A and B are shown apart, each in its own frame.
Chain A
Amino acid sequence: MIEKPYHVPLRLGLLSAAAAEPFLTEDLLKGVAGHAGVDLDKVVDRLPEDDPRWEVEPLRDLIEDAKHAFEDNRTQADAWLAPRLHAALRLTRREAADRRLWTHLALAVAPDYVAWRHRSRTTSKIGPERFRGAPDRQCFSRLWWAAEMFRDGADYTPVVTACGNQDLIHSALRRELIDHRPIAQALVQVMERGVAVTGREIEGLMTAVSAAGATLVYDALAPDVPRDPGVVRTWIEEAAHVSVPRRVLPDGPDEEPVPKKSVSDLTDFFADLFETAPVRGRAVKE
């Protein structure tokens, strides 16, 4: 199994997929052997020196703690790590959309975590997309984005629920539906109420919600409040002074929560929709 790299960079950088390709060797993707960190370091584009956000140590500590705490159940690490990674690595969405940052984190800083979390039990392989793939597949960016999309203002509790169900984050993150915050919150509520829980049920619900969206405008049916960009800015500036708590949930950026009425209206609507939604393996109710 891949161990922590011998050479861990001190600061996060940007690693393009083309530059990363030679390091995604057969051995690495089998989880057999890591890479020589020193060579990898030569192909990394640097980030500004004076920004404390790019220090690797706090992230590396967090990742070690996740590995240690969830040794026996690695999928559960997602719900623990997602909010904490989001609070430790404070980014604007513009910055988080840069895949090179995530590729660097996965390949240079924590390849051992990627291998531990994503090596398939059946094929003993790690998908290359876990290192340098689409935002909803890559090991760390999927967690960061799950936290960003499912948090309710400063409250990360819905993130924990969402990430506790692999099927939900898998099918939600690749759809644009959850870009509307009330939809994301309502999906979590539907799951908490026990309406749709299994993978097939969630997939069926999502398809039904998308289909209904062809004639219904969710933005009008369940409006959101405008976001204040200053709040995230301030939160990012505080990054240097905080350490992320391990036992309790951290606080996210103090944005206006999603309007309660919008969430409860949509939750009721989704629950009704699910009653008649076609779900594989479920008999259609008359």
Chain B
Amino acid sequence: MSYFRAENLSLHFGGLKAVDAVSFAVEKGEILSIIGPNGAGKSSIFNLVSRIYNPTSGRIFFEDQDITEEPAFGIAKLGIARTFQNIELFENATLLSNLLVGRHRHSTTQLWQELLFLPSVKANEKIHRRRVEQVIEFLDLEPYRDKLISGLPYGVRKVIELARALCTEPKLILLDEPSSGLNVEETDDMSFWIRDLKTELGITVLMVEHDMTLVNRVSDRVIALNYGKVLAMGSPAEVQRHPDVVAAYLGA
């Protein structure tokens, strides 16, 4: 069976079918991109997978486990992390504490232990910090370690989004438009990191993206959506040649 699977996923807002019977599968270790024009339902699929929205119908499976009824925080505990298109960082905290929140699913200490800050808590903290420092190094975020998020530029925040998701040590990562708002150099960096996620860290990537250069460079497979329906699925080149996709983008 596939690593991650969505079966007949639908999301209706009243009469609007944001996602309409979409099925797809992600294989372990691949990078799958979802493309499509604005309003095609890409972000809605992400919000369904990360359980921010409840699907109208359909099921979601991860590692052969039905996660359709799992609460949003449970998804993270299973090893699925996500980033947000419009940046949802903890603005009034430092970069370090933002990333440490990402370690939340690995914390095992009890409230009373934390109140006393017992040695076990301290030992755990050190492990968390070591992992966080590794992520900081991986993404070159050292200069901003102790800075408040609210003072950092957009491009850096976008990287921090990725860093925070990585701190959860995910098996599957959902990237919601990782390059939106980035300049050419920053997008280049992002594409290398995304490749590294797969090759160095062995993380499976599901990505929504507009920038076709980035999609072509990193994706193993591509899904094209429009009006909440799947238009085409396959290698980047195949999908881009598909007549329905061309029609959707060019409005022909």
Say whether A and B bind each other. no
